[in-house]
Structure 1
Amino acid sequence: MKRLLILTTALGALAVPASADVNLLSWGGAYGNSHLEAYVKPFQAETGIKVNMADADNPATPIKAMVEAGNITTDVASVEYADAVRLCDEGLLETIDPAILTVAEDGTAIEDDFIDGAITDCFVATDVYSMVLAYDDSKFADAKPSTPADFFDLAAFPGKRTMRKGAKFNLEFALMADGVAPDEVYDLLTTPEGVDRAFAKLDTIKNDTIWWEAGAQPPQLLADGEVTMAYAFNGRIFNAAHGENKPFKIVWDGQIYEMEGWIVPKGAPNLEEALKFITWTTAPAPQARAAEFISYGPPRRSAAALVGNIEGSDVPMGPNLPTTAENLTNALGSNLEFWVDHDAELNERFNSWLAS
């Protein structure tokens, strides 16, 4: 913390009145709670800067709208990696100088401590999350789902499914369920044949799928018995299983992982305060603390070693993180370049497919 104080003192441009606020846009639910407990409350206590926190189903959407309208009410937002790059390319975000970030306790340079790709011109990663197959253990007395193919097997594993309403994640998952190796998925999706194959696989469960839009929906659908299996954010399922004692299990085989992190909309009313918030929250200790509330892995190597037990328990969090080595077997990293290039066209096709 001494190092942080020295850093922020040196950055005279970041000096702001104690009464200044930071307007933060997060995702709500268990993920938003991890931001509140690990970042917002301790940041406020230490700096005296108030943080006003709001939620959105996907913060990238209102950020784009408010900047284009010239009515910016958010200073910092949490968004998915591909959305951050796209918004940055469109000139809708402020740049973030990596020099403001806090170095590791052992002096490891920022560029070496953060995992590859975790810092871009307009983005600093806060966590690594994944989309995973999850199921209600009480619904399957004998054989248990264990592969992506099982998600699509309505005969062996009956019941409705729930998947995110959109092309991203679903097309990749469908191809892996159809036998495509993770390292071949994106090469195949760049071809018309690969896209057709993915949609053909989705066709097999289309009539038995409920499409979710907010991350809190899949665990609720499982809890209400409306579905027996979900393709959902791992942290949401983890929170329901460990925090609410729901009989939900995660299958790591076929997980698709991606980073999420902070952006600052162009013209943010409290730019200096926003950068202070980013500096503080992306230090190793706060990132490790956030991972104790929800099972998203820290993008900093120095933070990973600091992650302790699941909040309020004596159970180590490590085995529940997508970045733990054994959980990465047969995993797929979401391809940023692919989705920046193909998001619009594939979502247009997905929406047409869904309506047909």
Structure 2
Amino acid sequence: MPTSRLEHAVAAATASAAVLALVLAGPVAGQSVTAVSYGGSYQRASTEAWFEPFTASTGIRVDVDDFTGELAQIRAQVEVGNVYWDVVDLGGAETTLACDEGLLELIDPGMLPPAPDGTPAEEDFAPGALTDCGVGGVVWSTIYAYDAGRFPDARPMTMEDFFDLEKFPGRRGMRRVPMANLEFALLADGVPADEVYAVLDTPAGLDRAFRRLDTIKDEVVWWEAGAQPPQMLADGEVVMSTAYNGRIFNAQVLEGQSFEIVWDGQVLETNQLAVVAGTPRLEAALRLVAFATSAERLAAVGRRISYGPARASAVPLVTTHLETGVDMAPHLPTHPDNLVRVIRRDQSWWVDNQDELNERFSAWLAR
């Protein structure tokens, strides 16, 4: 593992040059890499759009492990020098934090394939999608959803409605973390979307967010895995729940559930593909990252699950859902109609405050 940032950068540039030579090369027999993802429908989409075509193109086998996005396992592998994960799919805040801790390899954007029209990758990716250690993959959001059958008359339409137990009685589902919940609480309390993080950055603003959460705490069912919200809605355990938009989409189009997404106040985030520092399979891992983040491969994910691609050139390639033929555009979190009162997650703010807020949130839950 490189011992300094400079050595790290030199190693990354050297590896990137090798990857550029390999991207168009023929198959390599006998090699393998391990990629980690989040299970469920997103992992299936990633496997079909990225990992299986990569193996077919290069001969490099991709083994897939599940994880929850936490950095503990990555940290442990790097610290003991026994790296068995190669490519990890991380949220933006986690990528930044892991990069700062030296847990990830630096990635030279020059190794990434250009857009189909030749536009360099650095000009094609969305702002913020390329960082020192991460390459933008999918754009997804935390939204809330409800079963339309339970609201035959007035239906929830805003984030305020999620917090309104009088107008819309019943239990709510929320993820057992402060991320998104604090943003939702302030939005429901009247804070404009573009001022949420400025308010959260003050003690009074944090107190305000927790007070708003207090108003529904007794009616909340807490979830931890992305598969839980659609199941809780289907079972009637909750009348509405925060969720990952792609999980609700799959329940709608593949399972025929009468779920509706409320896009108002969605918290938008870009996941990134990164490479674990010290992997002995660095060239193969970088080759997988370059392959998976081409416009064609990112669009292939978007045609399987409703997560938008992080490259502009990939957007028009996301046409219909491969399995059902449903037009994907209205289901993408990046569709213009879905961006009213959007909150774009401030990754830097969460990197600076996540540990403190995790502790405060756990203490609040225990009260």
Deviating more after overlay: 300-309 vs 157-166: 157-166
Aligned residue identity for 1:100: M
Give how far 1:204 is off. 0.8
1:79 is matched with: 90
- 3-state SS, counterpart of residue 293 of structure 1: coil
Where in structure 1 do 4 or more consecutive aligned residues deviate above 4 Å?
A: 6-9, 14-17
Question: Is residue 326 of structure 1 aligned with residue 329 of structure 2?
Answer: no
> How big is each residue's C-alpha offset from its partner over 1:279-305, in whole Å with a ceiling of 9 and x where there is no partner?
111000010010011111101000001
Alpha-carbon distance in 1 for matches of 2:78, 2:66: 17
Task: For residues 209-231 of structure 1, give each alpha carbon's deviation from its aligned partner in whole angstroms, at most 9, with x where no partner exists.
Answer: 11111111111111121111111
Q: How does 1:31-180 map to 2 (within 5 A)?
A: 31-180=42-191
Report how far residue 338 of structure 1 moved.
Answer: 0.6
Q: Secondary structure at the match of 2:303?
A: helix
Aligned equivalents of 2:76, 2:271: Cα separation in 1:
20
Distance 1:9 1:196 in 2: 50
Q: Is the 8 A contact 1:126 1:282 kept in 2?
A: yes
Alpha-carbon offset, residue 277 of structure 1: 0.5
The match for 2:311 among 257, 278, 300 is: 300
The change in CA–CA distance for 1:271 and 1:98 in structure 2 (over 3 A counts) is same
Secondary structure of the corresponding residue to residue 317 of structure 2: coil
Q: Helix, strand or coil for the counterpart of 2:136?
A: strand
Which residues of structure 1 form unaligned runs of 5+?
A: 1-5
Aligned to 2:299: 288
Q: Secondary structure at the match of 2:144?
A: strand
Q: TM-score, normalised by structure 2?
A: 0.92
Could you tell which deviates more after superposition, 267-276 or 186-195? 267-276
Alpha-carbon RMSD across the aligned residues, in angstroms, is 1.7
Check 1:69–1:221 CA distance in 2 against 1; reply closer, same or farther (3 A cut). Answer: farther
Query: Partners of 1:149 and 1:188 in 2: how far apart?
Result: 18
Rounded to whole Å, the distance in 2 between the matches of 1:285 and 1:16 is 19
Partners of 2:338 and 2:242 lie apart in 1 by: 16
Structure 1 counterpart of 2:205: 194
1:274 matched to 2:280 = no
Gaps of 5+ in 2: 1-16
Overall identity of the aligned pairs, in %: 49
Rounded to whole Å, the distance in 2 between the matches of 1:47 and 1:350 is 46
Deviations 1:237-264 (A, max 9, x none): 1111111111111011110101002111
Q: 1:9 to 1:251 in 2, by over 3 A?
A: closer
Alignment of 1:180-259 (within 5 A): 180-259=191-270
